[in-house]
Amino acid sequence: MTGFTVNHAELLTLLLPTPYEATGEVLAASLAAEGAALDAAHASAQAVLEAISPAGADGLWLADWERVLGLPDACAGGYAQTQAERIAAALSKIRQRGGLSRAYFIGLAKALGFAITIEEHAVYTCESPCDQPICDEPWRFVWTVRGPEVTVREFTCESGCEDPLSSWGNAALECVINRLKPAHTFVIFAYGNT
């Protein structure tokens, strides 16, 4: 969101009574100084208005959003996040409701840029189909996340000038899912054609 441009020094000259000469040296300097202060206040107010949401925040304001939301996430790893990824992480943290369903974790992975499927393991019984893997009781608490061998995140129009043209890896996905999974479960990550 961008605001309109106002020259407050010119507006102040319009407020002068008619006998005043706005081109006088001392008065013009005073109006210019006061106008510059009002211009700076207007620009600052506009920046605050844009930073009401992380989507419009940048620089110091985005850093403040990250501080409030506990970002950058420990799961972001050692790689530097792009401006667009930082904004997306802040918006995601605000919108996050949590959940325990497969749909929740698939949606969470999608928000991180990963296309996954989830397989839950059932205990093998005498009524199980012959092609079902033989799993005993502890396998009830194991689930498998299947995804592409490597996920590549490409540079976009929303990326900052200093952002890499592409970055890849699955460490962020594993960290986030392991952090948010139910505590009594174990996750196996399988990538590629496994």
pLDDT tens for 52-75 read 888 888 778 888 988 999 888 777
pLDDT score at 1: 45
Picking from 174, 184, 182, 172, the residue whose alpha carbon sits closest to that of residue 100 is 182
pLDDT tens for 125-154 read 888 888 877 878 888 899 999 988 777 777
Q: How many CB atoms lie within 10 A of CB 192?
A: 9
Residue the block writes with tokens 């961008």: 2
User: Which helix (H) or strand (E) covers residue 142, if one does?
Assistant: strand 142-147
Average pLDDT of the chain is: 83
Alpha-carbon span 192 to 194, nearest angstrom: 6
